[in-house]
Structure 1
Amino acid sequence: MLRRIAAELLGSLLLAAAVIGSGVMAEQLAQGNTAVALLANTAATVAMLATLITLFGPISGAHFNPVVSLAALIRRRQHWRETIFYIAAQVLGCCLGALLAHGMFNLPLIQSSMHARDGIAQLVAEFTATFGLLLVVLGHRRPQDAAWMVAGWIGAAYWFTSSTSFANPAITIARSLTDTFSGIRSADVVGFIGAQLAATLTACAIAPLLFDDPRSSSVTDGLE
């Protein structure tokens, strides 16, 4: 158990550091070109996510995301106590990742984001991004496909959703601590997480209708 929790904490930390840190670097180098900044942010996130899933999947299942752990609980593939520890490690890890990103760029360690992400369109986007992510997690058939499928979905959703695909309550909380390119205003966090949780319940209800053996407790091995 301790090794699994440590893997979730470290993986979440590195993922958040990549998301936020690449956003800072992209904003500094893009010279006001938002499209270029988003492209750089996407590339770094996709690369880090695929790497972390491959690295930590055999240890913890590479959740790094409370909605994935919640899906495992709903599908009865994970005990509720383990789910609580996973989610706590994910949230703590992501918040520490925000601090690490700030430290690497000589920024104030804790910030309050002013980046507004409100409105129905943003919530629909978050629902869509999270729903699709969980369909990938629940429906992929070969463990070796998980890294590229999950990373591929997130990379695509960065660009076709208006919210740029947070799809992760832990990352959402951490990104409220950074007033940079990747940030989200704290007032908008509850709405985002609500949309993500609604998508989780919907995906868990629909997956059994689509897949003969819906997967639900591990990103890499089908959470079996």
Structure 2
Amino acid sequence: MTTLSIAARFNGPPASAHGGYTAGLVGTAIDGPAEVTLLAPPPLETAMELVAGDGGTVVLRAGERDVASGRPTTVDVGAPPAAAVAEIRAAMPSREVLRTSHPFPTCFGCGPDRDDGDGLCLFAGEIDPAARVWGVTWTPDGDGAVDPVLVWAALDCPSSAPAQDPTGERPIVLGRFAVDLLAEVPAGGAEHRILSAPLRHEGRKRTNAVWLLDAGDAVLAAGRATWIELKPDDAAARRGDGR
């Protein structure tokens, strides 16, 4: 059993932790590709326990409440679509555009109100409207290899892009995330590409594929993310604005 707490800077919605970061804490405790299900809004600045179970499973628990569960899995989302860095850059929206519609503007992964270095600031843009392919570039700071938990976090918000409501009125939150870390991700100025595309849509659930590629087109990580459209009352509560 491991005790941990998620710092306030790693928020998604204002009062809860970033889904991808939380999933990364659980998923990286599992050997190999892992699937993490978020069972409740992950609390911030709260002592939690990461408890190992049978068959390689892991549960993240806050008091008597299970926050997330993880298990070994396989991630088969096929090959990523082709997209050049220049094409992706041209599609990425500005902070000013996002501020008019973003449901969670202080999100660690994609919030336009976060500064570079404080948040990941991954603003995905639509590259291919016909195929609904989205992408963003990512140049992680630091030396050596990126912390695998941050790789999970970086894949999270771009994976939501094909399922987002452009008006921001029907926000979505991460429900389940499966990631296969295929290679170390180098930091220190290396520009990577994160691409996403839809897999299926069932009611309020939308499942998308996401890939992380290096400059030479090697796939460093692949994922499968299920996003859930919030009901109006839940959306207002998660935004924290009462709208």
TM-score of the aligned structures, taking structure 2 as reference length: 0.26
Higher strand share: 2
**Structure ranking higher on relative contact order (CA contacts 8 Å, 6+ apart):** 1
Higher helix share: 1
TM-score of the aligned structures, taking structure 1 as reference length: 0.28
